[in-house]
Structures are given as structure tokens and as C-alpha cells.
Amino acid sequence: MVRVGLTGGIGAGKSTVSARLAARGAVVVDADRLAREVVEPGSEGLAAVVDRFGPGILTDDGALDRPALGRIVFADADAEARRALEAITHPRIAARTTELFDGAAPDAVVVHDVPLLVEKRMGPAYHLVVVVGAHEDIRADRLRATRGMSEDEARARIGAQATDAERRAAADVWLDNDSTHDALVASVDDLWEHRLLPMEENVRLGRRAERSALEVVEADPRWAAAGERLVARLRHVLGDDAVTVDHVGSTSVPGLVAKDVIDVQVGVRGLADADGERFVEAMARAGFVRVDGVTQDRGKDGRPWPKRFHASTDPGRAANIHVRAVGSLGWEWALRFRDWLRADPTAREEYATTKRALAARFPATGAYAEAKEPWFDAAHPRALAWAGEHGWQARVETPRSS
């Protein structure tokens, strides 16, 4: 099963995307629909709301009078009424959501349609976050045409939600809806055929995504946000089993040329934790499958440095997850090397020149990686010297409780 979080600002076209995904075969769990369902006439949720806010929030036929309830909730300057309402509805919505997710078929693509996904920081719970976006002027025009809002009302509703910058940072997939309905539908179909379906199959079968040959490319400013999303997702998945999670490798160094692969290092207390069934299965369910046979790095002290390795199932985002024991030489080296390159422009440019030259000679990923080792060996003492001069120390986080 693949879990997809779907969101977008008001007037962006999220409903169109949700409907198209449902037509293509996705199981859509609509958060707004569930919010209405848990307070339907005769429900325990509605009874609890009436008990808290009084019978005046009911219509003559016993249904929830939403405008009446809204007047109470939004008139409360201290937001106590809103919190009381959420305490009633949110647990019931969450329980129903879990029930629908659990009831989906093992080969399902489950799309969770959540208007406030970004605002509530829910992104790490999904394999992918899809955001529908459109220019603010276009959204305001749509709200006036389809919902009868005034210009001021439309702008106020848009301004009360997350910004486009916040949504782009949260988006694994951005669906642009500045054009026509047909263009949006075509982009959804492409997403379904070339990313969601292949990823679902990869997750279900426990296999990494196939990659075409990756080239060394100029630095992409979007790599930082992609790294942050993967870090957050892995923290969510692993909980206390991950002591540290860090974006490492070339894509973590601003301005450095790299292959379009996000490398993340997970620090564990010991590799026995990484070999445990709970760890391996949690990673696989989240879309990061264990790659057997990759159990060490070539150490800079002439000895192997043990690790474990997982790879992404997502055909749209190449990602490597390196699992190393916190405090081990390999764990520390990955962090120190990254921070040295971030701080030293001369070393960064020297490494970029080396990468370009080697990529031209060794197009295959394995041969290219091996060809870089002599440069790493020569750079290692320089990175150590830099760390000593600047008092650099590897950051170890306190394990978080789940």
C-alpha cells in the first residue's frame, strides 16, 4: 500500500485532482467528508457536540446547524470553544481515518485528501505529499466565480492558509493548475501511471526503484527541501530507533554539483538495532527497502566501516539511506565531510572539478563511486585538520520518545 497526502489551497483545484485519482482507482479518504460524517444525525459525535454546546446548534430536523455552531466557536476570543469542538471531533475523525486506511487492499494507493495538511505538519506520515497549486489571482477569480465570494473574502480566505512557499517545501509532487482542466487531468494521469502505480508495486514487492543512468548536474536549490522531507519522514517512521537523522552527501552541500540522489544518514545505537525485524519492516513499509550485500564503506583508516543500506522505492526521487552506529568512524566522517565542504569553498570547488571529470570517464554509478575514493583518501586529513581548527564535533541528539 502507498499512502499519499493530497492538499492545496482553496481554489487551487484539489477536488479535481482527488476526483481524477479516484477515477483512476485510488482509494480516497476525504478529511472534510469524515468531519461531516462523525457529527451526522444519530451519531455519538453529534450527541457530544450537543452536550457541550447546547441544543441551539441543531436544525429543526435534528441535524447540525453549522452556521449556528460556527457563530459560537468563532466568537470565542480565547479559542476554548474551538478546542472543545476539536476534542470531540478529532479523535473520531482519526479513528475513522485509521479504519479506512486499514480496510484498503494491500495493493491500494490510498489518497488522504486533507485541506490543512501543510498547516498541521502531517507530511511525514505519507509516502508522498501531492500539492495542487495555482497563482493567487487565478484562485481568487475561481472563488468569485464558483462560490460567490467577494474579492476581499476570497483574498482573506487565501491569506488565512499556508503560503505557496510553505506548500512547495512540503510537496514531493507539485501539480500546477494555472492552465486548463484538461492539462491538470493529464498531469494527474501522468503521476498515476509513472509514479504512484510503480511505487505501490515496489513497496508491495519490497524492491528499490529502477534508475536510469544519473548524471552529475548543477546544484538544485530544491535538494535541501527534499532532504528535509526525507529526514522528517524517517524520523516519523523510526521513532526512538533513530538517534540521529541527517541529510548528507553532495546534495546536502549548497552549490555543489551532484547526481540527483538524496543521501540520508540514520544514526542508530548499534547495527543490531538496524538488523532487527521491527526496523527493517518499518523502513520497507515506508518505502525504503533493505539492500542486501551493502554492509560496509571503505574506511579511511584502511579498515571496513560497517553500515546498513536502504534505497527508495519511489521512481520519482532517488534516495539512499545509510544506517550507521552513532559515534562510529563512518557516521562521524559523513557529517564532518559534509560540514567541511559547506565551510570551505576551495575544497568544494576542487571536489566539484573532480566529480565532473570522473563522471565523464565513469558513467556507471558503481565505477564512478569507486573512482572518487582516492580523492576522499587525500581529502580526509584536510577535513580532520579543519575540524580540529574549528572545534568541530559531530552532533548527537537525545533520543526522542514516540
Note whether 235 and 402 are within 8 A (CB).
no
- 379-to-123, 346, 367, 374, 376 alpha-carbon distances in Å: 38, 12, 19, 9, 5
Name, in order, each residue with C-beta under 8 angstroms of 390's C-beta and a sequence gap of 6 or more: 343
Write the DSSP symbol of residue 311. Answer: E
HSE on the CB side for 101, CA within 13 Å? 17
**365 annotated ligand-binding residue:** no
Which cell numbers in the block locate residue 162?
Answer: 499556508
**13 annotated ligand-binding residue:** yes
**14 annotated ligand-binding residue:** yes
Q: How many residues does the chain have?
A: 402
CA-nearest of 90, 92, 80 to 53 is 80
Pairing of strands 258-259, 319-325: unpaired
Question: Residue 288: phi, psi to the nearest 5?
Answer: -130, 95
**11 annotated ligand-binding residue:** yes
Known binding residues for ATP are: 11-16
Known binding residues are: 11-16
